[in-house]
Homo-oligomer: A and B are copies of this chain.
Amino acid sequence: MATSKTNQPQRGVTVRRIAEEAGVSPTTVSLVLNGRGAKHRIAEPTIARVKDAARLLQYTPNDLARSLRKQSTGAIGVVFPHLLNDWAHHVMAGVSSVFDTANLVPLIVAHRGQLEREEAELNMLVRRRVDGVLCNPTHGDVERYRFVERQGVPLAFLGDAPDDFEPPAFTAWDPEAVATPVRHLLSCGASRVVYLGFSDPRRVTRMRRDVFVRCVREAGTDPDVSLMPILEQGQPINGVMSELFGASRSRPDAIFTLYDDVAMQAIDWLQDHEFRVPADVMVATMGNSKIGGPRGYGLTTMRAPVVDEGRAAADLLLARLRGETPPPGGVLVAGGELVIGRTTRGGPA
């Protein structure tokens, strides 16, 4: 066959093919199909011919070639640790609403808490030259995140941020939100409130703990470090619970947790060990999983503005793509509402 020297597969319809069909040059085709025909004063009939040919041949542009040439893919990697509890779904609702207006497409990846996988996914996204990355950070060494930035791909964190990371591009639910459920517990008569947060050195995680401590102080109590045990993400909390509730004297009378799956674990443990919730121990938390809701555990919980968080994170990344410098303190999303469930009792008049 009369074919080129190399034996490349020649699957698709290309601009060149359309150009031949319409009797014009590839340049013209490109111009027309990108809607810049009018601007370049391409004759109306030419435009029509090109468009017809494209339609006829079922032309589908090759975005690999396009991106390679334009040095931009219009894709944003969105990295989640998991797709559980509807969380990613609602985050993406916010994210997509922003990306839609900016003609960006999100490519979602989930690493299920495996560090090597997270690193591999980030790597993959960079190699595919996404224009940016949105990421809910896990803790541990930050080299994998630095790598992304070093390769010239803007990274914005969602939900928290590694400590000491430059640039400080992160959005998170305002840690002040912690105050509402904690104060609620105190106003319901709790005097020894356990704090079940995580103790890794992520920025917002730390700030939340600080807010908790402040609330306890405000109530006239000295914060008790034995009530703030060290919790590792993904670890069962049984050990910690035994220690807290094992001693017969000075037992806690309330638990505050940062995530409702932790609250549910705590409740399971308490009930297994004959503690009544909320009679003996009250529980309040942050989050809004269905299973935590009224038909499930009936948690008293601060419901997070998840969609807004997604939107804010996407906005922040967009700003970075425009070259703006992110605010040093991060972008804190206000909002959320306290939902009083069956795990706290009474309350102020």
Contacts and interface: CB of A to CB of B under 8 A. Distances in A.
A109 B67 CA distance: 20
Interface string A272-305: 0000000000000000011101011100000000
Q: Which of A82, A93, A110 has most B Cβ within 10 Å?
A: A110
Interface in A116-163: 121, 123-124, 126-129, 150-152
Contacts of A89: 82-84, 110, 112
Copies of this protein, total: 2
B68 A62 contact: yes
B109 A93 contact: no
B62 A64 contact: no
Nearest to A268: B295
A110 B129 contact: no
Nearest to A293: B291
Contact of A291 (B8, B9, B84, B290): B290
Contacts of A128: 63-64, 75
A297 B296 CA distance: 7
A127 B9 contact: no
A249 interface: no
Contacts of A8: 71
A107 B289 CA distance: 25
A110 B83 CA distance: 12
A92 B83 CA distance: 9
Contacts of A73: 64
Contacts of A12: 151-152
Contacts of A264: 295
A201 interface: no
A64 B73 CA distance: 9
B68 A65 contact: yes
A34 interface: no
A77 to B, nearest CB: 9
Contacts of A290: 85, 289-291, 296
A60 interface: yes
5 contacts: A11-B152, A62-B127, A64-B129, A68-B68, A108-B109
Given A83-B89, A264-B295, 20 more contacts: A60-B123, A61-B127, A62-B127, A63-B128, A64-B73, A83-B92, A84-B86, A89-B110, A92-B110, A105-B109, A105-B124, A107-B109, A108-B108, A108-B110, A289-B290, A290-B290, A291-B291, A291-B293, A295-B297, A296-B296
Sort A-B residue pairs by CB-CB distance and give the 7 closest, nearest first: A83-B89, A108-B108, A290-B291, A296-B296, A63-B127, A64-B68, A291-B291
